A and B are shown apart, each in its own frame.
Chain A
Amino acid sequence: QKEVEQNSGPLSVPEGAIASLNCTYSDRGSQSFFWYRQYSGKSPELIMSIYSNGDKEDGRFTAQLNKASQYVSLLIRDSQPSDSATYLCAVSFLGGNTPLVFGKGTRLSVIA
């Protein structure tokens, strides 16, 4: 059974701080990793994707992947109240167009 694990939170950070969200996955052969943001009652919105070890930066977001530790994280710099949402980690275990396995998500609350 392929599993993706996330701390459900809530994670509370003050406005302007760095939010750090973590995810572990069960299958060492996993290929592609994604972070989605989901506001309450809305659909998942893709914010970052990564498939090679190391860091990938896009604006205020940095995804970090460590395949040896089976660990992927998302850093949000200069957190804003509008970043308050649930962040879903998703893994494509075989890469390509194979289905995503989602974690339960971490709820982030940015306090103004």
Chain B
Amino acid sequence: EPEVTQTPSHQVTQMGQEVILRCVPISNHLYFYWYRQILGQKVEFLVSFYNNEISEKSEIFDDQFSVERPDGSNFTLKIRSTKLEDSAMYFCASSHRGVLLTEAFFGQGTRLTVV
């Protein structure tokens, strides 16, 4: 069964460093998303990406964040200068293009720890 894959599974970084989280969406999906979940809190939307551009972003997704699809398979989230509060699980998701009911499938997540 096709799945979304994310690397690395766990990343520890020093405050102020740049991190890149990587995702390979399901191959025939056209929409890609990043969500995050701070420990003990709800899953929060960060950004969606379609046709090589951002389609929506939340207030969380400020200038420190960027996304890219560098080739035909990878989708990346970059955090330019990490802060302690960026520590969270980051989930990539993908979906078909849909009109009404479009199901998003999540990768296994990257646990980011900023120290």
A100 touches B101 (CB 8 A): no
How far in angstroms is the closest Cβ of chain A from B100? 5
Contact residues, A61-104 vs B (CB, 8 A): 88, 90, 92, 95-104
B101 touches A95 (CB 8 A): yes
With A and B bound together, what is the CA distance between A31 and B100 in angstroms?
Answer: 7
B105 touches A46 (CB 8 A): yes
User: B41 contacts which chain A residues (CB < 8 A)?
Assistant: 104
Known: A44-B106, A88-B43. A97 touches B97 (CB 8 A): yes
A97 touches B98 (CB 8 A): yes
Q: Is A24 positioned at the interface, with any CB of B under 8 Å from its CB?
A: no
Q: Among B11-19, B48-56, B70-78, B80-88, which stretch is in contact with chain A?
A: B48-56
Q: Is A32 positioned at the interface, with any CB of B under 8 Å from its CB?
A: yes
Q: How many residues of A contact B (CB 8 A)?
A: 26
User: B48 contacts which chain A residues (CB < 8 A)?
Assistant: 97-99
Nearest B residue to A45 via CB reads B106
User: B95 contacts which chain A residues (CB < 8 A)?
Assistant: 97
Instruction: Count chain B CB atoms within 10 A of each CB in A31, A44, A46, A88 and give the residue with the most.
Output: A44
Q: Is B58 positioned at the interface, with any CB of A under 8 Å from its CB?
A: yes
With A and B bound together, what is the CA distance between A103 and B43 in angstroms?
Answer: 8
Nearest B residue to A48 via CB reads B103
B105 touches A103 (CB 8 A): no
Instruction: Count chain B CB atoms within 10 A of each CB in A31, A97, A101, A104 and give the residue with the most.
Output: A97
A43-B108, A46-B106 are known; give 4 further A-B pairs, CB within 8 A: A46-B105, A97-B31, A99-B33, A99-B45
18 contacts between A and B (CB under 8 A): A34-B103, A44-B106, A49-B103, A51-B100, A51-B101, A88-B42, A88-B43, A90-B43, A92-B102, A95-B100, A97-B50, A97-B95, A97-B98, A98-B48, A99-B45, A99-B48, A101-B45, A104-B42
